Copies of this chain bind each other. A is one copy, B any other.
């Protein structure tokens, strides 16, 4: 099917959905306007366990770029084997987002960094200690002096990490090629999946560049999550104290979703097909048959973009 004649894709989608696509979805732009030296410094910091209290946990511990920018676990493990309460969100394409964490409690990447650094269950770090540790290393001292002037500061550390994070866009997915006009980039099953994705209503929330990540929604519109610990986490309510925010979470991006199992804020669903079926039931009041579910999953797999290459400098150090 791959490479089918363009008109076939249009026919499968229907004119209404085809015309809608540019309104609903945007391709991932390549990372740009970044200083590669700051990116390299940020990459080193991102992978440096010296940022955690006992030097065992780096940012990359729970955000492994080669594993889709997350850690593949239901919830993450911080220092001393401590467990977090939520699933690690991917760091890929994070520079394209405006709100961070499942509950949206940070509005900038700089603020986001304080979350894991300060959390007692994650890195339990201390900026004074971190600055001291880094300052003991001539390579860090030199880099910061060259790139930011003066001694190492919290702001400079954060900026370098943010520069690195902004370099983690994943353009070039097959879906983006399809959006750009290459109708052969998706096969028939994938196009059918895209059509379902839009027609059923998934795209009401999973839209824009990231197919999500720019809206909040209630987890469980039509029914509460059956079982699991989904009911224990109050989501944005824990940030705002507003009754209306109970069980409201950031709609996660579906970019690279095939790489970031397990799913949901509690990481309670291991496979993508079950996640799709659960979403349809909870959010859209629809039971999906096997074929429809498979087609949507096939479409979601086309959202995997080009993973950022690990810098050679860092590779050499491993």
Q: Which residues of A contact B (CB under 8 A)?
A: 16, 19-20, 23-24, 26, 98, 198-199, 201, 203-204, 207-210, 214-218, 220-224, 240, 242-245, 247-248, 283-285
Q: Would you give 25 A-B contacts (Cβ < 8 Å), ordered by A?
A: A16-B223, A23-B223, A23-B224, A23-B247, A26-B243, A26-B244, A98-B240, A98-B242, A198-B222, A203-B221, A204-B204, A204-B217, A204-B221, A204-B283, A207-B218, A207-B221, A207-B244, A210-B244, A214-B216, A214-B242, A214-B244, A214-B245, A215-B217, A215-B248, A216-B216
Contact between chains at A215 and B214 (CB < 8 Å):
no
CB–CB B220/A23 < 8 A: yes
Give A247 Cβ to nearest chain B Cβ, in Å: 8
Closest to A242 in B: B98
User: Do A24 and B221 touch (CB < 8 A)?
Assistant: yes
* Chain B residue at smallest Cβ distance from A200: B285
* A244 touching B208 in the complex, CB below 8 Å, given contacts A201-B201, A216-B215: yes
- Smallest CB gap from A204: residue in B: B221
Nearest chain-B residue to A198 (Cβ)?
Answer: B222
Q: Please, which residues of chain B bring their CB within 8 A of the CB of A19?
A: 223
For the A-B complex with A23-B223, A26-B243, A203-B221 known, give 7 more contacts whose Cβ atoms are closer than 8 Å: A199-B285, A204-B217, A204-B218, A204-B283, A207-B244, A209-B244, A214-B245
